[in-house]
Amino acid sequence: AQSVTQLDSQVPVFEEAPVELRCNYSSSVSVYLFWYVQYPNQGLQLLLKYLSGSTLVKGINGFEAEFNKSQTSFHLRKPSVHISDTAEYFCAVGGSSGSARQLTFGSGTQLTVLP
């Protein structure tokens, strides 16, 4: 079985400040990790993904994430946020074999950027 824990349900931050959204996962198989963003009343859009290779992954809109296998984490970061980054962010894990055959999502983190 696999699971995802997003440690913060709400993260308020001032414009141009840095932000980190935390994500921890558990899985019995090799994992693939994703961050998605959701704007109100819309579907999810992929920000970035880790499949293999370099543990630092860069995505769209200036976001990046680092895969840490020993800490089973995949935290999302941005050095300077904008008002337009206000949205809900979901971390997801996919497995490589067996029963872990679909994406499992965390409960989401609402990022609110304040002027």
Minimum CB distance to another protein smaller for 43 or for 115: 43
Please return the burial class of 109, using the count of CB atoms within 10 Å of its CB with bins 0-12, 13-18 and 19+: buried
CA 62 to CA 48: how far, in whole Å? 10
Tokens, residue 48: 């970035």
Both tokens of residue 12?
């308020």
> Closest separation between CB of residue 61 and another protein, Å?
16
CB of 79 to another protein, least distance (A): 24
Tokens representing residue 31 in the block: 């994992």
Q: Which is nearer to another protein, 17 or 51 (CB)?
A: 51
Minimum CB–partner distance for residue 99 and another protein (Å): 11
Binding site for another protein (CB under 8 A): 6, 9, 32, 34, 36, 41-46, 49, 51, 90, 94-97, 101-108
